[in-house]
Structure 1
């Protein structure tokens, strides 16, 4: 399955920017592997003195942005689990800025955060790999929009590609 298999009715319009960042010719599994590897490659080369750098006032630091990626992937994987198990209970959104502000990052080693992201991505891959094609097509209400499991998995990839691009363009090392 590739991102071109998705219908625009499988996700909210807000997520189309993320969907569009996934290369159209690669499989979901390859997109999960590739987006994670690209991000980890970048983050592994961030010098310690740069992890608290923000490219503009009011923007997240490199470390905060990674925490956002960790939190977001956990939330989306939970949503995939719920829908993959055919739980049609509407799922609420989450306030990403509040999550980042509540995370106590001052004493968290950046290297451990990278390892945490790596572990979460492995878990996401295992979750998605364990779902059937029918499970992945199941849709439910997420943040007020009809969303399919497979769309959420591609959104995880696109969201990671998005932040990788931001890191490379705006947090240039």
Structure 2
């Protein structure tokens, strides 16, 4: 299952920019390759980098990493819920409300890396557990249609988006 197999009816058009950042490859391969790439990037940071923000009012590096982790968990939950045919609409989440209460600025770089690895590994295991028809189920999240496969590609594209921002905006 690759990004070219996704139908635009499987996700909110807002997420197209994330999906467009991905290669037309298998979801599991993308998730595994990205995990390695992101961890290598994170291990190249210094503790003091975590406090850096590229502009007044923008998230710090630590907050952005925590946001990536939180978003992974949320989209994994969405994929699981929809794959299990729970038709309960899934509410959206306010990313800006999550950041200050995450206390990411109190975290060490090694703890953030460890959490990312564990959460991504859980996601890989989840997506590997789905049978083909489970990937194509349609549910509702944030008042839009969503399939489990779209959720997987979105979380991968979201992580890629933030890696690009770390390099382009944060200068890392």
Counterpart CA distance in 1 for 2:48 and 2:148 is: 39
Structure 2 CA distance for aligned equivalents of residues 2 and 34 of structure 1: 14
Q: Which residue of 2 aligns with 1:104?
A: 103
- Give the structure 1 partner of residue 19 of structure 2: 19
Q: How far 1:105 moved relative to its partner? A: 2.5
Q: Distance in 2 between matches of 1:105 and 1:20?
A: 29
CA contact (8 A) 1:135 1:149 kept: yes
Q: Bigger shift: 133-142 or 34-43?
A: 34-43
Question: 1:74: Cα distance to partner?
Answer: 0.6
Query: Partners of 2:110 and 2:85 in 1: how far apart?
Result: 36
1:9-48 equivalence runs, <5 A: 9-24=9-24, 26-48=25-47
Distance in 2 separating the partners of 1:166 and 1:79: 25
Unaligned stretches of 5+ residues in structure 2: none
Q: Contact conserved, 2:51 with 2:105, CA < 8 A, in 1?
A: no
Shift of 1:107: 2.8
* Aligned equivalents of 2:136, 2:59: Cα separation in 1: 34
Find the aligned partners of 1:33 and 1:171 in 2 and give their Cα distance: 25
How far is 1:143 from its partner? 0.3
The Cα of 1:38 is off from its aligned counterpart by 1.8
TM-score normalised to structure 1 length: 0.96
How far apart are 1:34 and its partner, in Å? 1.8
CA distance in 2, matches of 1:111, 1:69: 15
1:13-46 Cα deviation digits (max 9, x unpaired): 111110111112x111111112222221111111
Partner deviation per Cα, 1:43-90 (whole Å, 9 max, x = no partner): 111111111000111111110000101111111111111011111111
Partner SS, residue 51 of structure 2: coil
Length-normalised TM-score, structure 2: 0.97
Runs of 4+ in 1 over 2 A off after TM superposition: none
**CA 87–112 in structure 1, closer or farther in 2 if over 3 Å, else same:** same
Aligned twin of 2:122:
123
**Greater mean deviation of Cα atoms: 103-112 or 53-62:** 103-112
Q: Which residue of 2 aligns with 1:75?
A: 74
Q: CA deviation at 1:106?
A: 3.7
| Aligned residues between the structures | 172
